[in-house]
Amino acid sequence: MRFFTAALLFSLPSAALAQWKVTDNSRAADPDSPLIYERKTVSREGDSSFFAAKQIDLVWFNAETHTFRVIDNGGGDSPIFPDLVTALKKNGCLAGVNGGFFLQNDAPSGLMVASGTETGKFGTGGLLSGVLLSSGNRNPYLLRRAEYSGSKYKPTDLIQAGPFLIDQGATVRGLSPENSRRRTFVVHDGGKWFGIGLSDSFTLAQLGEALASPEFSPSRKIHRALNLDGGTSSGFYLNRGERAEPIHVEPFKKVRNFVGIVPRE
């Protein structure tokens, strides 16, 4: 009996083993905005500690009207843009976050394509297991590395990042339970809705579990979620129009690229 119970627990997805309480603090959607903004507060059931409640901001867009844009911030000591907001506004973005990982010399880790210009090389490894792109006909995609083909998708905008937090609607096994930090990420509902998000400090395992919770986004269940470069690189911006103040979190350090949401051409 003990063996059967242990085997059953091992076979269950990690999201089923960790129950999360979700409180929706989103304001009513602005009817004039093409984006849908959600703010959720999540906490693990049974955790009553002072820092138990954590906030997650998420912006959804419809792939029929909008897509991703990758913005190159340049290498070296002199960035192209002074901050996240300037980078996004000058590139016509309604919202955006920091992008993928980069090396000590500010070179992108893996392949980056910004406005059709390729930099770096298509790489391997857990931190490059996902591919976020906008194709030549401006369709957005969130792919696993093995699914990607440059000749097939013809990207105008692309970054590699990782690891995946959610795949096929379930938390990915083996995510690290260590190193709690602020994180940014991208999501896809498996259909026409994509999104970008910013979270308070989570481990990778915790964030994967929270995002996969059935309560988190019942109207647009998350099919895939990909981790971006978090920690001190985390940044987030949303223009909420004339009726509300923008939401703005600036990265603590220079980052190599940004991911924005733009109208499709």
What is the model's pLDDT at position 73?
97
Note the pLDDT of residue 18.
Answer: 59
- pLDDT at residue 30 in the model: 72
**130, 226 in Cβ contact below 8 A?**
yes
Residue 250 has a pLDDT of 97
Per DSSP, the three-state class of 5 is helix
Contact 211, 166 (CB under 8 A): yes
- Give the pLDDT of residue 95: 98
Return all residues near 53 (Cβ < 8 A) that are at least 6 apart.
41, 42, 43
pLDDT at residue 9, rounded to an integer: 39
Tell me the average confidence (pLDDT) per consecutive run of 10 residues in the chain, 265 residues long. 40 53 83 88 84 93 97 91 97 97 94 97 95 94 97 97 97 96 98 98 96 92 97 95 87 96 93
165 three-class SS: strand
